Amino acid sequence: MPIDMKDIVSLCKRRGFIFPASDIYGGLNGFWDYGPLGTELKNNLRDRWWKDMVTTPPIGPDGAPVQIVGLDSSIIQNPKTWVASGHVGGFSDPMVDCKETKKRYRQDHLVVLTAEKADRWPAFHEETEDDEILKRLKKLGMPSDLSLFEKTNLTKLPIEDYAKIIGPDVKEPGTLTEPKEFNLMFETYTGAIQSEDSKAYLRPETAQGIFLNFKNVLDSSRVKVPFGIAQIGKAFRNEVTPRNFIFRSREFEQMEMEWFCHGGEAKMWQDFWLEERANFWKAVGLSDGNIIIRGHDADELAHYAKEGLGTSDIEYKFPFTDPGYGELEGIAHRCDFDLKAHEEHSGQKLAYLDPSRDNERYIPHVIEPAAGLTRGVLALICEAYTVDENRPSGVYLNFTPAMAPKKAAILPLIGKDEHVPIATKLYLELREEFPVDLDIKQNIGKRYARQDEIGTPYCFTIDNDTIADGTVTVRERNTMAQERISLDKVAEYLREKMKV
């Protein structure tokens, strides 16, 4: 039975994983807030990534651990950053829409045949051949004589003239909308006075902050190429169409690592990181069958990856993409595009002097595993969501113990007996090490059901036997099976399970 996203969205809200942002004002398209449990879940995924990248990075192909250092750069950088990176300019072209055909044109790609006396001015794509223009003039019942008209680029015409313009694919004038700016970057202003000079941008990717600090890290951290710089943080894109819950939102969180290496070794490192990253997603609980690795076709490559080895995605089969897949992480070969661009625009030397290669001086190539943290959270939730009509809750979240927001619940079997003090003591002890819940109210079945719904893997129940022989019941979420273990072994038991 296919999972309905509606059920997941409502569970997320009902249990405090994810809320619509500014909910009491009716929400805001493309923004979401993480509730108490969603925050724990996101932090768990984030911390695991940081550990795998920075604290205990993998063993490299040569048998030695690779070197990766962390960074936390500013969300707002000098706006020249985004000129150099290609984000300003590339996607800020004004577009006009045709109200009739719903087609969209770049304003500067259209030329208009203007004439003082005419009240209908046909527009054409700038590359349209003259003989085709003549044909169309005939169809429109206009004199087929180009000398009567002047070719004017649409950008040169005032908006008042648009009423006279006949769009490239229609017969009547007045269907073109006024030009709209189409920039995916959020704009803001630094300082209290707003002007063009103080315009700045919220970063559309965390990567550039890493490139900006390449030299600083190199000069301060005793790293040698090949090495990596890792960063986790918010990024912002004014998506045309935010869709699919938190999958495409306008504010999201990335986990990016830029791996700097010699151009000749780029292929080896891209293969290496692709495998490492796929293993990561499996380790946090995504099943083999729901993950796919897909190479980008040439025509979908980003501007920075046009040359070189291209990009491979790690994709997940979300309920809303099924039977297809949605991107979770891209492992791109960014070549030396970014450092070179920043060298040109900043005038700073960013080449690396490599003593291990006879002091060869070169701009390192970059392999970039760039993952969506918030997309990862969604994948974890979708993967964990399990319908089970044989249990009171009807559904449970099958998180791995390591990812689960709550690792265990401590439940006194009877709420007002001497079970409560023992449970409280255990709770106080366990919470030093793990996020755990103490739940006293209502009968035991309700409490198990509640924990199932938020994906708590273990419940420890204190009963009369605990008083008699110092044992507690462990109830396992997926199987609902119970076993008894010694009260003083509970912490160790949990510690053991967290490793899985």
Partner RNA sequence: GCGGGCGUAGUUCAAUGGUAGAACACUAGCCUUCCAAGCUAGUUAUGCCGGUUCGAUCCCGGUCGCCCGCUCCA
For residue 199, the one-letter residue type is K
* Minimum distance, C-beta of residue 29 to RNA, in the bound complex (Å): 3
| Token output for 197 | 């000079």
- Measured from the CB atom, is 232 or 472 closer to RNA? 472
In the complex, least distance from residue 41 CB atom to RNA, rounded to whole angstroms: 18
Q: Which residues bind RNA (CB under 7 A)?
A: 5-6, 9-10, 13-14, 20, 26-30, 86-87, 90-91, 97, 102, 104, 183-185, 204-205, 237, 239-245, 248, 300, 302-304, 320, 391-394, 413-417, 441-450, 453, 461-465, 472-473, 475, 480, 482
Please work out, in degrees rounded to the nearest 5, the angle formed at the alpha carbon of residue 19 by the alpha carbons of 13 and 23: 120
In degrees, rounded to 5, the angle at the alpha carbon of residue 328 between the alpha carbons of residues 407 and 58 is 70
Rounded Cα–Cα distance for residues 91 and 86 (Å): 9
Least separation, in Å, of the C-beta of 82 and RNA?
7
From residue 346, how far is each of 85, 283, 318, 421 by CA, in Å? 12, 41, 42, 65
Q: How far is the CB of 68 from RNA (least distance, A)?
A: 22
Rounded to a whole number of angstroms, the minimum distance from the CB of residue 60 to RNA is: 27
Q: Nearest-CA neighbor of 133 among 116, 111, 118, 153?
A: 111
Cβ pair 180, 96 in contact under 8 A: yes
Which of 202/291 has CB closer to RNA?
A: 202
Q: How far is the CB of 297 from RNA (least distance, A)?
A: 12
- Give 120 or 497: the residue with its C-beta nearer to RNA: 497
Smallest distance, RNA to C-beta of residue 246, A: 9
- Which is nearer to RNA, 19 or 362 (by Cβ)? 19
Tokens of 397: 């979240």
Residue 239 is classified by DSSP as: -
- Smallest separation (angstroms) from RNA to the CB of 444: 4
How far is Cα 11 from Cα 29, in angstroms, rounded to an integer?
20
CA distance 147 to 165: 18
Q: Which is nearer to RNA, 6 or 199 (CB)?
A: 6
Token pair belonging to 56: 């205990």
- Would you report the helix, strand and coil content of the chain in percent, each value rounded to 5? 35, 25, 35
Nearest to RNA of 26, 141 (CB atom): 26
Q: How far is the CB of 114 from RNA (least distance, A)?
A: 26
Q: Which is nearer to RNA, 112 or 444 (CB)?
A: 444
Question: Which residue spans within 185-249 are E strands per DSSP?
Answer: 187-189, 199-201, 227-236
The token duo for 229 is 């710089």
Task: Copy the structure tokens of residue 172.
Answer: 């009547």
At 261 the three-state DSSP class reads strand
* Half-sphere CA count of 76, side-chain side, radius 13 A: 10
- Residue pair 273/331 in contact by the 8 Å Cβ criterion: yes
CB of 408 to RNA, least distance (A): 14
CA of 331: how far to CAs of 16, 59, 292, in Å?
32, 18, 13
Q: Which CB, 115 or 420, lies closer to RNA?
A: 420
Q: Is the dihedral of CA 388, 390, 396, 399 positive or negative?
A: negative
Q: Which of 285, 458, 460, 259 is nearest to 367 (CA)?
A: 259
CB closer to RNA out of 329 and 463: 463
If the CB atoms of residues 247 and 352 are measured against RNA, the closer one turns out to be 247
13 vs 46, which CB is nearer to RNA?
A: 13
As measured in angstroms, the least distance from the Cβ of 151 to RNA is 26
Name the amino acid, one letter, at 226: P
